Amino acid sequence: MRNKCEQPVSVPSVQLPRHHYRLGTRGSRLAQWQALHVARRLAEHSVNVEMVEIDTLGDRDLVTPLTGFVGATPFADEIEQALVRGEIDLAVHSYKDLATQPTSGTMVAAVPVRADPRDALVARNGWTLTDLPTGAIVGTCSARRSAQLLQMRDDLVIKPLRGDVPSRVRQLQDGLFDAIVLAVAGLQRLGMEGAITECFSVDTMVPAPAQGALAVQVRSDDADFQALVGRIDDRALHEAVDIERTALAMLDPLAPCVAVHAQPIGDDLFNLIVRVIDEKGITRVDESLQGNFFTLSEQIELLVNELTRTTIRVVV
């Protein structure tokens, strides 16, 4: 492990000549980095913001596994409520933190950037997944990561891991885990990519829908401000993420592990990797699909129908 992982991480600065719009964000280093990145992009289009830090349930409760927040979106609910109430004018989220169904009164006006969507292993002694000793303890709170890890190494012991990115790495350094799995994007944005001991390809460990992408959320009744924020939107990226989240919404009720990743291949076409693993660790879907948004939606619906029929047959 490199010592720099233990050092304070600098956050990029942004000049705000005038405070016209209030941008809501969480207080973690990563959330602040992401919000300031969006603020700089908006400033290039003469849209100036001031930051409003909002405490979320997920930040306060560091004990409950992420799968235990039933009926809540732990890193977004308070921010979205502030947006709807008019206490802020826009919000920046890690897109994968948002519920698949948009909160009433809100919309995502821009998906300006996507960092590396892959997952990374951060392990003691520079270990890769193959190097980990039998029965190694691996930290993650993601059902998606857990399921795919156990398919590759069924001897691993998966234990819950909570906290922001630096604190998770510290837990590894303190000996609580032999390895942890984190998003490459978060490590890179915080200058901590030196801690990575292995990057998983998107085929080896299919990412979470919208992993690495940022969402800039505004009120749905403010068309003028939507247009302003839309200046930083990447249309192809936005559509790719929409496809991933559509697949998640359709498949999520059928299995605890739904992993989806869309890669643009030109002319509004995408390659969509879909992996669905059930509660018994059995892979129910492992497909690579091609098409545009509409044809891919139709193909996903066919997968849902087949999964539903298969599930009914197994239950009966």
From 77, 89, 97, 116, the catalytic residue: 97
d(CA 144, CA 136): 19
For tokens 């998606």, name the residue: 144
Q: What is the 3-state secondary structure (H, E, C) of the chain?
A: CCHHHHCCCCCCCCCCCCCCEEEEECCCHHHHHHHHHHHHHHHCCCCCEEEEECCCHHHHCCCCCHHHCCCCCCCCHHHHHHHHCCCCCEEEEEHHHCCCCCCCCEEEEECCCECCCCEEEEEHHHCCCCCCCCCCEEECCCHHHHHHHHHHCCCCEEECCCCCHHHHHHHHHCCCCCEEEEEHHHHHHCCCHHHCCEECCCCCCCCCCCCCEEEEEEECCCHHHHHHHHHHCCHHHHHHHHHHHHHHHHHHHHCCEEEEEEEEEECCEEEEEEEEECCCCCEEEEEEEEECHHHHHHHHHHHHHHHHHHHHHHHC
Confirm whether 97 is a catalytic residue: yes
Catalytically active residues are 97
